[in-house]
Amino acid sequence: MSNEAQQASPLKRALLALEKMQARLEAVEQAKREPIAIVGIGCRFPGGAHDADSFWELLRDGVDTVGEVPADRWDVDAYYDPDPDAPGKMYTRWGAFLDQVDQFDPQFFGITPREAVSMDPQQRLLLEVTWEALENAAQAPDQLAGSRTGVFVGILAEDYGQIHLADGGIEEIGAYYGSGVARSIASGRLSYVLGLQGPSVSIDTACSSSLVAIHLAVQSLRKGECNMALAGGVNVMLVPEPTIALSRYKMMSANGRCQTFDARADGYVRGEGVGMIVLKRLSDARRDGDAVLAVIRGTAVNQDGASSGLTAPNGPAQEAVIREALANAQVQPADVTYVECHGTGTSLGDPIEVQALAAALGAGRTADKPLLLGSVKTNVGHLETAAGVVGLVKVVKALQERTIPPHLHLQEPNPFIPWAELPVAVPTKLTPWPAAAPLIAGLSSFGFSGTNVHLVVEAAPETAAPETAAPEMAAPEIETPETAVMPEERPLHLLTLSAKNGAALGELARHMADHLTEAANVADVAYTMNTGRAQLGQRLAVTAVSTAQAQQKLAAFAAGEEVKGIAAAQVTQSDPPKIAFLFTGQGAQYTGMGRQLYATQPVFRAALDECDALLRPYLQHPLLEVVFRDPSSADDDQSLINETAYTQPALFALEYALAQLWLSWGVQPDYVMGHSVGEYVAACLAGVFSLADGLKLIAARGRLMQALPTGGAMAAIFAEETAVVAAIAPYAAEVSIAAVNGPSNIVISGVGTAVAAICDAFAAQGIKSRPLVVSHAFHSPLMEPMLDEFAAVAATVQYSPPQLRLISNVNGALAMGETAANAAYWRDHVR
Handedness of CA 148, 154, 156, 159 (dihedral sign): negative
Backbone phi and psi for residue 195, each to the nearest 5 degrees, phi listed first:
75, 30
Q: Which of 261-270, 427-436, 564-573, 597-606 has the lowest mean pLDDT?
A: 564-573
Percent of the chain at pLDDT > 70 equals 93
- Distance separating alpha carbons of residues 438 and 693, to the nearest angstrom: 45
The pLDDT of residue 710 is above 70 = yes
Residue 345: other Cβ atoms inside 10 A: 28
The pLDDT tens digits for 72-102 are: 999 999 999 999 999 999 999 999 999 999 9
The pLDDT of residue 285 is above 90 = yes
- Distance separating alpha carbons of residues 402 and 435, to the nearest angstrom: 9
Which SS3 state, helix, strand or coil, does residue 33 take? coil
Name the active-site residue from 43, 207, 258, 341. 207
342 is annotated as an active-site residue: yes
3-state secondary structure 245-271: HHHHCCCECCCCCCCCCECCCCCECEE
Contact present, 695 and 813 (Cβ < 8 Å) = no
Name the active-site residue from 215, 342, 407, 409. 342
Which SS3 state, helix, strand or coil, does residue 299 take? strand
Q: How many CA atoms lie within 13 A of 412 on its CB side?
A: 6
Measured at the alpha carbon of residue 750, what is the angle toward residues 746 and 751, in degrees to the nearest 5? 140
776 is annotated as an active-site residue: no
- Distance separating alpha carbons of residues 355 and 545, to the nearest angstrom: 57
Name the active-site residue from 382, 454, 776, 829. 382
- Distance separating alpha carbons of residues 580 and 85, to the nearest angstrom: 74
The pLDDT tens digits for 476-486 are: 333 333 333 33
**Residue 671 — pLDDT band, cuts 50, 70, 90?**
very high
The pLDDT of residue 488 is above 90 = no
* Model pLDDT, residue 573: 67
- Distance separating alpha carbons of residues 673 and 811, to the nearest angstrom: 12
Between helices 209-223 and 387-401, what is the axis angle to 10°? 70
Q: Checking DSSP bridges between strand 671-674 and strand 580-583, what pairing results, if any?
A: parallel
* Topology adopted by domain 487-570: Alpha-Beta Plaits (3.30.70)
**Stretch 492-511: mean pLDDT, rounded?**
92
* CA-based end-to-end distance of the chain: 44
* Model pLDDT, residue 489: 60
Going from the C-alpha of 101 to that of each of 97, 127, 142, 420, the distances in angstroms are: 9, 13, 24, 45
CATH number of the domain at 586-711+775-830, please?
3.40.366.10
- Distance separating alpha carbons of residues 701 and 789, to the nearest angstrom: 9
**Residue 23 — pLDDT band, cuts 50, 70, 90?**
low
The pLDDT of residue 770 is above 70 = yes
Q: How many CA atoms lie within 13 A of 317 on its CB side?
A: 19
Which SS3 state, helix, strand or coil, does residue 331 take? coil
**Stretch 620-646: mean pLDDT, rounded?**
79
* Model pLDDT, residue 467: 47
* Model pLDDT, residue 219: 98
* Model pLDDT, residue 484: 32
382 is annotated as an active-site residue: yes
**Stretch 771-780: mean pLDDT, rounded?**
86
**Stretch 775-783: mean pLDDT, rounded?**
89
- Distance separating alpha carbons of residues 533 and 512, to the nearest angstrom: 13
Which SS3 state, helix, strand or coil, does residue 518 take? coil
Percent of the chain at pLDDT > 90 equals 73
Right CATH number for 36-459 from 3.50.50.60, 3.30.565.10, 3.40.50.2300, 3.40.47.10?
3.40.47.10
Give the list of residues 6+ apart from residue 380 with CB closer than 8 angstroms, or none: 45, 46, 47, 65, 66, 96, 271, 273, 390
- Distance separating alpha carbons of residues 127 and 809, to the nearest angstrom: 48
* Model pLDDT, residue 476: 38
Ranges 18-27, 222-231, 503-512, 739-748, most confident: 222-231
Mean pLDDT in the chain?
90
**Stretch 231-248: mean pLDDT, rounded?**
97
- Distance separating alpha carbons of residues 275 and 101, to the nearest angstrom: 14
Handedness of CA 44, 50, 52, 54 (dihedral sign): negative
The letter for the amino acid at 413 is P
* Model pLDDT, residue 635: 52
Domain residue ranges of the chain, discontinuous segments joined by +: 3-32, 36-459, 487-570, 586-711+775-830
Which SS3 state, helix, strand or coil, does residue 272 take? coil
